Structure 1
Amino acid sequence: MGESIAAVVVRAAELTARGLPRRAIELLRPALVADPRHGEAWCRLAAAHLDVGEPDPALDAAKRALVLDGDHAWAQRLAALALSELGRHAEAAVAARECVRRKPGDWRCRVVLAEVLAAAPDTRVEAVEVAREAAHLAPTEARAFQVLGDAALRVRDWGTAEWAYRSALALDPADEDVHANLATVRRRRSAPGLSGDALSRAHELAWPALSRVAALLVAGGLVLFLAGMPKPTPLLGWFSGALVVAVCVVVGQLVLRGRRAVWVLPRYRPKVAVVGALFGASTLVVAGWTVALFLGATTMQPLVIGWMCALVGGAVVVLGGGR
């Protein structure tokens, strides 16, 4: 039976390498029912579950491997990755650190630790150092440099990120993810006269301002809509004009505080660009409607269009959460 399950493990590894982890799972499950004390098979099963995006069964399989004979460092790596996928970052970090303790010279343990640390904001700086150690241990492994680039990208260390991605591509030129990440780094570094930190500070200023604009346009538009029923009058134009002025004041304060970075920010933060476009359209429509009211117009349709733009933009602000 030992030879039989060993053969199954080899076939499962081949299936996973060919991009067929689901078939590997189907192959390993019955074999483990017959021989549940094969640690390598449990590790292979955990890896296959991670490949198909199933962290719960992956964690269960890794835990089974940890109590059996075999490569416990591999089982710890798999457990750490599964815990990280489940959002249990503290436990994932403990498992990954234990993996490094068991095999301090294994670059794969440090890669997993770097990935886990990079997932939590308060340990991202440490993740860069751990990934740097992994790259030092494995100078011929593209994966080590990719993880270093990913960790540096999260802390906006553009120089380290670009060097790491370029090193990874020198080892594996066909990796499309690394090509895409390198393009992102170069695009962000190319902001004229602005650092990544300046863009981050501008984003921190912009999102609260956009939240205030959302509140003004959504709540103010609803009040105007109710007040203008069934037929708006020129008097309502004073109130809609005040709404437009209030929005301009909030935007003006943002521009004064953020200065040049605010104008560049939409190029590097797509959600800011989308929200800004929607709120800009809403404000222009309300301003045009205000002028039309003073000229004697009695339609409410432009206000409805402007309010809908503000509502969609406000939804993006709420769901985006400033990330």
Structure 2
Amino acid sequence: MSESIAAVVLRAAELIARGLPRKAIELLQPALVVNPLHGEAWCRLAAAYLDAGEPDPALNAAKRALVLDGDPVWAQRLTALALSELGRHPEAVVAARECARRKPGDWRCQVVLAEVLANSPEGPREAVEVAREAAHLAPAEARAFQVLGDAALRVRDWGTAERAYRTALRLDPDADDVRANLATVRSKRGGAPIPPPSGEALHAAHVLVWPALSRLAALLVAGGLVLLLAGMPKPTPLLGAFSGLLVVACLVVVGLLLLKARRGVRRALLRLPAHRPKVAIVATMFWLSAVILAGWSVALLVGATTMQPLVVAWLCALIGGAVVVLGGGR
């Protein structure tokens, strides 16, 4: 049975990491009915309740874990966080200090103490110093620097907050909440814009976008040529419908690209043209071609008979396609 509960705990941890605390709770509750003495499972349940915004049952689960075999420091951290969420700040500070006393070299204890102090009425200043110690103990952990930035933000220490958030973003470029807080700090200071995406994110975006540009080149160049041949000597409204379908196909390619990209890479995609000139040229040409095609499609459907917009759209597509072919994705 111990293997079974261990597998449940592991699965619950995966669900919490994926942002599904409610499913983790539903998985753990029946397992704990059968195995009520499994301390780690109670800790996972407490963590899931905290992520779900339910501090009352989180506190109960953490207290159960405190009296069982397992990691008492983990249970102490969860207890402190639950008490803080419930507004019981003095008790939360006591629990967090006890956690830090038991394991002074554990950066997670220092992070929890900093969070609890930052939420208490008289602790924000001390929270900054405790968070500094957490960042010193764990220089490769984005969470430690995020908490330092949050604590500094509360006391309006803009310089410390900005440095901490920038370090956190360097360690975890996908942290949207950190990026938003950094923007807040910079707006308060009247500083420069948010740092650009990392080189790794830009490279990943470039690797992802070039095949999509190749597909767009094939659609617009080949499709435009077919439309040119079919539209001579005089285009018809039916041709406008086919031209509209070509524009829709291009939009589908772009949509699939955005769906495929992770959050950090998706942001890098939007800023990639500023860092990759060839991507900027190709994107501009294809955008012009698609816009002109869309306008020409509408014009044909309402009775126009001109071919000139199609020629311009095809030339734009041809220029972008040539850059794609010659660039080779490098």
In structure 2, C-alpha distance between the alignment counterparts of 1:190 and 1:23, rounded to whole Å: 43
AA at the equivalent of 1:183: A
Question: Structure 2: where are the runs of 5+ without partners?
Answer: 192-330
AA at the equivalent of 1:137: L
> What whole-Å deviation, never above 9, does each CA across 1:270-309 have from its counterpart, x for those lacking one?
xxxxxxxxxxxxxxxxxxxxxxxxxxxxxxxxxxxxxxxx
1:179 alignment partner in structure 2: 179
Q: Does 1:79 align with 2:79?
A: yes
1:93 alignment partner in structure 2: 93
Judge which range, 60-69 or 181-190, deviates more: 181-190
1:85: Cα distance to partner? Answer: 0.4
AA at the equivalent of 2:50: L
1:180: Cα distance to partner? Answer: 0.9
1:20: Cα distance to partner? Answer: 1.2
Q: Once the two structures are aligned, what percentage of the paired residues are identical?
A: 81
Compute the TM-score of the two structures, normalised by the length of structure 1.
Answer: 0.58
Q: What are the residue-to-residue correspondences of 1:117-136 with 2, within 5 Å? A: 117-136=117-136
Q: Secondary structure at the match of 1:122?
A: coil
> What whole-Å deviation, never above 9, does each CA across 1:81-129 have from its counterpart, x for those lacking one?
1000000000000111111111111101100100000012311100000
1:67 alignment partner in structure 2: 67
AA at the equivalent of 1:61: A
Q: Does 1:41 align with 2:28?
A: no
AA at the equivalent of 1:90: P
Q: Secondary structure at the match of 2:122?
A: helix
1:14 alignment partner in structure 2: 14
AA at the equivalent of 2:84: S
**How large is the RMSD of aligned CA atoms in angstroms?**
1.0
AA at the equivalent of 1:95: A
In structure 1, C-alpha distance between the alignment counterparts of 2:188 and 2:114, rounded to whole Å: 23
Q: Number of matched residues?
A: 191
AA at the equivalent of 1:79: T
Q: Secondary structure at the match of 1:121?
A: coil
In structure 1, C-alpha distance between the alignment counterparts of 2:112 and 2:100, rounded to whole Å: 9
Compute the TM-score of the two structures, normalised by the length of structure 2.
Answer: 0.57
1:166 alignment partner in structure 2: 166
1:24 alignment partner in structure 2: 24
1:4: Cα distance to partner? Answer: 1.2
1:111 alignment partner in structure 2: 111
Q: Secondary structure at the match of 1:19?
A: coil
Q: Secondary structure at the match of 1:32?
A: helix
In structure 2, C-alpha distance between the alignment counterparts of 1:121 and 1:57, rounded to whole Å: 24
In structure 1, C-alpha distance between the alignment counterparts of 2:162 and 2:19, rounded to whole Å: 29
AA at the equivalent of 1:146: Q
Q: What are the residue-to-residue correspondences of 1:191-206 with 2, within 5 Å? A: none
Q: What are the residue-to-residue correspondences of 1:298-313 with 2, within 5 Å? A: none
Q: Secondary structure at the match of 1:174?
A: coil
AA at the equivalent of 1:179: R
1:16: Cα distance to partner? Answer: 1.2
AA at the equivalent of 1:154: R
Judge which range, 170-179 or 130-139, deviates more: 170-179
1:15: Cα distance to partner? Answer: 1.3
1:34: Cα distance to partner? Answer: 0.6
Judge which range, 169-178 or 62-71, deviates more: 169-178
In structure 1, C-alpha distance between the alignment counterparts of 2:8 and 2:123, rounded to whole Å: 39
1:190: Cα distance to partner? Answer: 2.0
1:59: Cα distance to partner? Answer: 0.2
1:76: Cα distance to partner? Answer: 0.5
1:66: Cα distance to partner? Answer: 0.2
1:222 alignment partner in structure 2: none
In structure 2, C-alpha distance between the alignment counterparts of 1:174 and 1:24, rounded to whole Å: 23
1:3: Cα distance to partner? Answer: 1.4
AA at the equivalent of 1:30: P
In structure 2, C-alpha distance between the alignment counterparts of 1:6 and 1:105, rounded to whole Å: 27
Q: Secondary structure at the match of 1:49?
A: helix
In structure 1, C-alpha distance between the alignment counterparts of 2:41 and 2:103, rounded to whole Å: 20
